[in-house]
Amino acid sequence: MLLLKTKNKSVTLTVSMCIASLFLYFFSLLIISCNKKSVEPNEYSDAFKPVFANTSHYFDFGQPARGMYYLDSAFVHIKKPNLNDRFRYFGFHYIYQKVTKGNYKLALAFADSMLSIAQQSVSKQQYVANFAEANYAKGDAYFNLTQYNDSYQCYFQGYLIAKNYLNKRSLSDYTYRMGMIMYKQAHYKQAAQYFKDSYAQDLSASDNSKDDFPAFYRRQELLDNIAISYKHCGNIDSAIFYFDKTLAYINSNNDRFKNRANMLEMARAVVYGNKAEALIMNQQYDKAKGLLRKSIAINLKKGGDNSDAELSEIKLAQIYYNQHKSDSLYKQLTSLRKHLDVLNNPDAETDWNRLMGAYYLQKKDAVKALTYIQNYNLLKDSAIKKLSSLKESDVNQQLANFEKQYEIENLSNNNKLQKIYLSVAVICALMAVAIIFLIWRNWSRSKLDVITVKKLNQEINSQKKDLEKAIEEIKNSSREKDRILRTVAHDLRNPLGGIASLTGIMVEETGYDTDLQYQLKIIKDTSSDTLELINEILEATNNTSTDLKKQLIEVNSLLNNSIELLRFKASEKHQEIILDALDTVEQLYINREMIWRVISNLISNAIKFSPVGETIHLKCINESSHIQISVADHGIGIPDEMKDKVFNMFTDAKRAGTIGEKSFGLGLSICKQIIEKHNGKIWFESKPGKGTTFYIKLPKPKKMELIIMERDTEANSKQKVS
């Protein structure tokens, strides 16, 4: 979905990754009611429904690359995907290429595939929904490629078929896009009106209090776009009113979308930055700086809208320039330079050079100022050229031409149909005369001729039956061929699976030459490593969805059990595990298996990353309201650049053990999930080359809670006995 973001005296159209799934969703809502006998426009096969849900989940939470990998892997296993399955498959690829990769040419190719599938629709309703969506997608791709005439035509075609069915959601999509085009042409009043119309149409299409997150996000974006358009008209009071209305709308939905708190924060950050620009125009610099700092703090985080943060940093620098605060200006621009070197942002780059030039002019360093001003002019000229073709176009005239062309084509088609109907009528009349003549001639012929005709008819019927029989035999042969193919495919599964198992057995045998033994060991080790990775991924997924089943567990017993199970593994490296247990009996209300898994994982890591012969120290401390457990080693430690990544899922902060043990970077992420589910805390202290200590802090049950839990446990035991 296109999203407006502004900076001083210019506008850019960018796309936020967190909106990608919303784009798909709104297109899928282009639905018209249909007969029960026909296929629903958005009906997916049972096999594809979970694939759609999981892929959308990855897009929603900012992991589009993982989503596409999952989609491609899962889709090949769907034996008979229906038309809507295939349409949405290409739709996801379109979004990924357009939004995430910025490859608009490849996105256009996927939009063409969507259109091709839409034209195969089996019902009118399905055709309307898919055809409109495919044209909108194709129009957006053309728009990003600056092929505006083609873009307008696709928008118009999608709108034309959708408006005939009075679908307000579809009409809202169309008016939204026209608003974006008007905005790009600097027709801000018309853009504001288009955005208002789109907001009203979208609002009337569903219940505001019951709609889902994509519908809510769409509306807050439209409100923000209205405010931005008013700001560019110079109507600052109206702009601030709509910015405040946007923020109020976002805040009023906090409780409904708690699981999307990060996306809500990103939306607020964008509005903060846009409102700050309006305040700057009113010279309310202090309020503007406060909003910009909040916006930057949110969007500079990992997973935030970093491009928007860079634009906000430019606005903050502009305030310092306006206030003649040279030191603050230079400090801000220096900080922004680090971000621009990592994430390219042409608009921010342009203004950065402008402000650096202005800074050096204030410092009376004309040589340096000239360099930055020249860079600014080059970047500005490039941006002007990109927008020139759009601003030279008159979209209203283009659409009027398309409508006239459409009417002319309809009239031309009607004339052609009339000519065809007339020709058919003449032919039918001639055929009628010929038939009457033939009937009269045959009637006048002798009975012998009648008998001959009957015999010919009998022969024709006989040939027809033979032909039907031959066709049925061909069908049976085709079905038998399909059955044989399925049988062969099924029978090949077992021998292929047996090859993998046989390799493991062969590694244990002797008698092979050294090279073959080495190659078999590589196969076995690779299989084991892959299996371990798969198990960790499955375990990570299971941890995020499984409800906790807690019970009272004695701490010393749990730690002793964990150590005993890993002593053998430690002995392989001649290591010793020492435990400083609690002096008194203490119980925790926890899930035994999960906490055991955390402690075992930390001990295993200590074994893995400690040299041969070292000591691993476990210590348990009884605090007033918590139990603290620590696992300390004297191993290789964690480098400073990896410390912020060790708890991340699929982190690249992973290294081999001291004797080459494999590491996949999932274990500590799982540990953190488990501890946080128990309302606990996990952290570490590490010095490279000297060792690492991991700490776990788990809350103790309160006395009253402990009494209740013991009573419930006793009651459950008596109930089982009875």
Between 528 and 589, the more confident residue is 589
Q: What are phi and psi of 145, to 5 degrees?
A: -85, 5
pLDDT at 236 over 60: yes
76, part of any domain? yes
Classify residue 313 as exposed, middle or buried by CB count within 10 Å of its CB (0-12, 13-18, 19+): buried
Q: What is the pLDDT of residue 367?
A: 84
pLDDT of residue 511: 65
More confidently predicted of 424 and 34: 424
Least confident of 71-85, 460-474, 512-526, 532-546: 532-546
For residue 721, pLDDT beyond 60: no
- Rounded CA Rg of the chain: 35
Mean pLDDT of all residues in 473-477: 82
Q: Which among 127, 151, 166 is the end of a domain?
A: 166
pLDDT at 410: 55
SS3 track for 380-406: HHHHHHHHHHHHCCCHHHHHHHHHHHH
Task: Compute φ and ψ for 554, nearest 5 degrees.
Answer: -80, 130
Q: Is residue 193 part of a domain?
A: no
CA distance 364 to 369: 8
Residue, of 169 and 343, whose pLDDT is higher: 343
Overall size of the chain counted in residues: 722
Give residue 591's pLDDT: 86
Confidence label for 420 from pLDDT (cuts 50, 70 and 90)? confident
DSSP character for 101? I
Residue 130 CB: number of other CB atoms within 10 A? 27
- Reading the block at residue 496, the tokens are 């292929």
On whether residue 621 sits in a domain, the answer given is: yes
Q: How far apart are CA 360 and CA 326, in angstroms?
A: 9
pLDDT at position 9: 34
Tell me how far apart the alpha carbons of residues 287 and 276 are, in angstroms, rounded to a whole number. 7
Is residue 157 situated within a structural domain? yes
Determine the pLDDT at residue 179: 83
Give the C-alpha separation, 320 to 315, whole Å.
9
Task: Single out the residue in 138, 166, 194 at which a domain terminates.
Answer: 166
Q: Which of 37-46, 189-198, 423-432 has the lowest mean pLDDT?
A: 37-46
Mean pLDDT of the 451-459 span: 83
For the cut 70, the answer to whether the pLDDT of residue 482 exceeds it is: no
Per DSSP bridges, beta strands 626-632 and 615-622 are antiparallel
* Mean pLDDT (whole number) for 402-410: 54
Q: Is 337 a residue whose pLDDT tops 50?
A: yes
**Across residues 333-345, what is the average pLDDT?**
85
Whether residue 413 has pLDDT greater than 90: no
Q: Are 380 and 349 in contact (CB under 8 A)?
A: no
Q: In CATH, what number is assigned to the domain containing residue 649?
A: 3.30.565.10
Residue 313 pLDDT greater than 80, yes or no: yes
Which of 147, 166, 185 is the last residue in one of the domains?
166
**Which pair of tokens denotes residue 568?**
């053998």
Q: Which of 74-78, 103-107, 159-163 has the lowest mean pLDDT?
A: 159-163
Between 367 and 513, residue with greater pLDDT: 367
Question: For residue range 244-259, what is the model confidence (pLDDT) as tens digits?
Answer: 999 999 999 888 888 8
Lowest mean pLDDT among 335-339, 344-348, 626-630, 711-715: 711-715
- DSSP track, 489-546: HHHHHHHHHHHHHHHHHHHH-----HHHHHHHHHHHHHHHHHHHHHHHHHHHHHHHHP
The residue behind tokens 């080059």 is 378
Average pLDDT, the chain: 78
What is d(CA 542, CA 674) in angstroms, rounded to the nearest whole number? Answer: 11
More confident residue, 126 or 224: 224
pTM of the model: 0.45
Structure confidence at residue 489 (pLDDT): 41
Mean pLDDT of all residues in 192-221: 81
Task: Tell me which of 180 and 520 has the higher pLDDT.
Answer: 180
pLDDT tier, 238 (very low <50, low <70, confident <90, very high otherwise): very high
pLDDT of residue 412: 61
Q: What values do phi and psi take at 513, rounded to 5?
A: -70, 165
- The answer to whether position 652 is within a domain reads yes
What region does 365 belong to: left with phi over 0, alpha with psi -120 to 50, or beta?
beta
Whether pLDDT at 335 is above 50: yes
The CA–CA distances, whole Å, from 505 to 230, 462, 502, 514 equal: 74, 66, 5, 17
Task: For residues 167 and 603, give the distance between their C-alpha atoms in angstroms, rounded to a whole number.
Answer: 61
Where in the sequence is the domain holding 44, given as residue range(s)? Answer: 31-166
pLDDT greater at residue 697 or residue 507: 697
pLDDT value for 547: 65
pLDDT at 630: 95
- Where does the pLDDT of residue 20 fall: very low under 50, low under 70, confident under 90, or very high at 90 and above? very low
Residue 182 lies in a domain: no
Q: Residue 398: what pLDDT?
A: 53
396 pLDDT tier (thresholds 50, 70, 90) = low
The verdict on residue 132 lying in a domain is: yes
The residue type of 56 is S
Q: Specify if 3 maps to a domain.
A: no
Tens of pLDDT, residues 613-667: 899 999 999 998 899 999 999 888 888 888 888 887 666 656 776 776 766 666 7
Between 502 and 62, the more confident residue is 62
- CATH number of domain containing 109: 1.25.40.10
Tell me the percentage of the chain whose pLDDT exceeds 70: 74
Domains of the chain: total:
2
Nearest residue to 263 (alpha-carbon basis) of 203, 311, 221: 221
Identify the bridge partners of residue 577 per DSSP, sorted by sequence position: 616
Residues 3-12, mean pLDDT to the nearest whole number = 41
What does the pLDDT look like over 344-383, one tens digit per residue?
Answer: 888 888 889 998 888 888 888 888 888 888 888 888 876 6
Of residues 209 and 33, more confidence is placed in: 209
pLDDT class for 162, splitting at 50, 70, 90?
A: low
pLDDT for 52: 93
Please give the structure tokens belonging to residue 6.
Answer: 């502004």
Tracing tokens 């967190």 back to the chain, one arrives at 18
pLDDT of residue 214 exceeding 70, the answer is: yes
| Residue-level pLDDT at 663 | 67
